[in-house]
Structure 1
């Protein structure tokens, strides 16, 4: 999963970012309530958000070509 984001286009990366961001938000809310099966999922979602944010920023700077 670590390398699966490298081939994404800008639009796909933004859509995936929004999807994972929603999952991350829901997981954080469930952690407050206390009903989380896998608490380590929060770390992996946060890291995937950082990877996607890096890819989106590279497109904005022109380091990646569309």
Structure 2
């Protein structure tokens, strides 16, 4: 998910996306620990998406 897409979402939508993204990242980590993923870069993208959403939420809270 790109930063421009994240900025367009409301706070409630961001919180929902954050929950979904964290769940997805946890599932990927679990799957990778059992047997290596075909594309381990998925882990990096998932982790960074979680960080982008969390950063945007924090930024909006501080405003």
Q: TM-score, normalised by structure 1?
A: 0.85
Tell me the SS of whatever aligns to 2:43: helix
Give how far 1:35 is off.
Answer: 4.8
Note the alpha carbon deviations across 1:12-47, whole angstroms, 9 max, x for none: 001000001000000000111015232101000111
Aligned length: 62
The answer as to 2:22 corresponding to 1:27 is no
What CA distance in whole angstroms lies between the structure 1 residues aligned with 2:44 and 2:28? 11
Could you tell me which runs of 5 or more consecutive residues in structure 2 were left unpaired when the two chains were aligned.
none
More helix by share: 2
What CA distance in whole angstroms lies between the structure 2 residues aligned with 1:41 and 1:55? 21
Q: What residue in structure 2 maps to residue 45 of structure 1?
A: 46
Tell me the SS of whatever aligns to 1:48: helix
Q: TM-score, normalised by structure 2?
A: 0.89
What CA distance in whole angstroms lies between the structure 2 residues aligned with 1:20 and 1:37? 20
Segments of 4+ moved more than 6 angstroms: none
